[in-house]
Every structure is written in structure tokens, then in C-alpha cells.
Amino acid sequence: MGKIVAVTNQKGGVGKTTTAINLAASLAFAERRVLLVDIDPQGNLTSGVGQKGKAGPGGTIYEALTAIEPVTDPRPFIIPTGVDHLSLIPSNRNLTGAEIEMVPLAHREERLRMFLASVRGEFDYIFVDCPPSLGLLTLNALVAADAALIPLHCEYFALEGLADLVGTMRRVRVALNPGLDIEGVLLTMFDDRTNLGQQVASDVRQFFKEKVFRTVIPRNIRLGEAPSHGMPVMLYDVKSRGAEAYLALAREMLERSAA
Ligand code: ATP
Ligand code: MG
């Protein structure tokens, strides 16, 4: 059974999408079968793997989540990316309306879980890239997921707002998904030249302890450039520090799951 991982933090611009794309691509390079699911109306994940404007015969994640009856066959929504073993369910701007359109629907918090259930066996990992909010879309991701991966930008307010995410996860466990775990907390955009970065990293490790990945993602220009070319960083510049870091993160994740 494939593991469903929600890449989430309601804070904007912390590296959720960058992590989803590059961790997924690193695992695909290691010949794991990986599905990316974009549930952000910004569609950055979709464009970051070069699929902006694309959709399967069923449509995008918007059509999947807002149908009157829950959709339980995701296959018509899955499209290939330019990377072997890496598939995508794309998003687009229409998804902006979903937060409101889903409110009157039956199973509104469980739509994504019901949608993905039948393809779990066909993938080793399914990564869901969340929008920067704790609304109904993120709730769907947390209800569908086995675990949350939480990227944290190494800057002064990194821990701010995390209590809300941890509280939301607690409520989801009680009501809808008792098995929801923390896959790991990932330090992103780390700059080892600043004391602040070091300080934030040590605060986060004190707070989340062994839940924090050993691998730290450095601030790296190539990571910022790759999405505009519609490719993961390891296709854009495999020798960059950014590519090395995400490949190391994938190895760490595989080691953890084998342990
Ligand atoms: P949002 O909350 O808007 O969805 P996000 O959490 O998904 O944002 P990203 O889009 O991954 O964050 O990253 C924000 C910006 O920072 C992007 O322009 C991205 O290219 C850049 N970026 C992400 N990680 C790094 C890094 N390690 N080094 C340099 N730039 C980075
Ligand atoms: Mg994003």
C-alpha cells in the first residue's frame, strides 16, 4: 500500500511545493512509483513539473473534489510528468472555488481520501501539496494522509502558527483519521552563514526532537530557478546543492521507513 504524505504548513512560501516536487522526483529516480497531487489553487506544483494547463480526461483535482457524488476512480485524472515513475493529478485556478463549493457536499472532509483509496496500491508514495491555509482543502489532505511532512523556513517566525497546525492535526486524529502521523519536520532555505538560521534550527530540533529530518535543505538558487523550466532540480542541475539535498532527503526517508 502506498503511503500518502501531506506536505503542509499554513504559512506561505516555506518550501512546500519545492519539497513535494523534488522529494517526489528523488524517490522516482530511486525507481519508487510516485504520484503528486496538487490541491493548491495556485497550481505551482502543476507548473513546476511542466504541466500547467494540462488535465486528464476526467479533469483536474477541482472536478474530482467538487462532483455531487464522491469520485472514487482517480485514474482518468492522472497524467504523466517528464520524469519516469512520476505521475501527477493537476490543479488550476478553478480550485479557488472548491473551499466554498464543497461545504454543502456529503463527505466534504473525506473527498480526497475516498478519491485516492483505489490507487494506493499502484504507487509507493503519494504526495499531496497543500495550499497555505488550514481550510477544507488542507483538511482533506490531513484526513487522506498517513503522515504530514512539515517544511519550516529557517527564519525568525518559523515556529509561529505551528500550534494551529498541530492543533488541527490533533482534531483530525480524534474525529476523522486516528492514524495520522508526522512523517517529519524539514528545515528549508537554511543559510549556514547566519546565526539566526542556526538558532532557529536548534529551537526546532528542541521542540520536535527526532521528528526533524537530519537532512537540511540549503538556500540554493537552482531550487528557485528549476520550476520556471518546469522540471525538478535534479533534471535542471543535478550537481547543485539543492539537488544533492533532496536526494539525501529521499535516502533518509527510505532508511526511516526500512528501520
Ligand atoms: P505557498 O505557501 O505559496 O504554496 P510554498 O510553501 O509551496 O509556498 P515554495 O513555492 O516551495 O513554497 O517556495 C517559495 C519560493 O521560494 C519559491 O519561489 C521557490 O522557488 C523558492 N524556494 C523554495 N525553497 C528554496 C530553497 N531551498 N532555496 C532557494 N529558493 C527556494
Ligand atoms: Mg506551494
- Residue of minimum CA distance from atom 5 in ligand 1: 13
**142 to each of 180, 193, 259, how far by Cα in Å?**
7, 35, 24
Q: Verify whether ligand 1 is closer than 6 Å to residue 223 (CB atom).
A: yes
Tell which one of 7, 14, 17 to mutate to probe ligand 1, the residue whose CB is within 8 A of the most ligand atoms: 17
CB of 220 closer than 6 A to ligand 1? yes
Question: Alpha-carbon distance 57 to 60, whole Å?
Answer: 9
Those residues whose C-beta lies under 8 Å from the C-beta of residue 208, and which sit 6 or more positions away, are 182, 185
Residue 159 pLDDT exceeds 90: no
pLDDT above 80 (res 156): no
Of 91, 154, 149, 109, which is closest to residue 125 (Cα–Cα)? 149
Ligand 1 and 7: CB distance under 6 A:
no
199 versus 104: the higher-pLDDT residue is: 104
Is the beta carbon of 184 within 6 A of some atom in ligand 1?
no
Ligand nearest to the CA of 12: 1
As a whole-number percent, the residues of the chain with pLDDT over 70 amount to 100
- pLDDT tens digits, 108-132: 999 999 999 999 999 999 999 999 9
Q: Average pLDDT, stretch 218-241?
A: 97
- Ligand 1 centroid distance, CA of 15 (Å): 4
Rounded to two decimals, the pTM is: 0.97
Å from CA of 129 to ligand 2 middle: 7
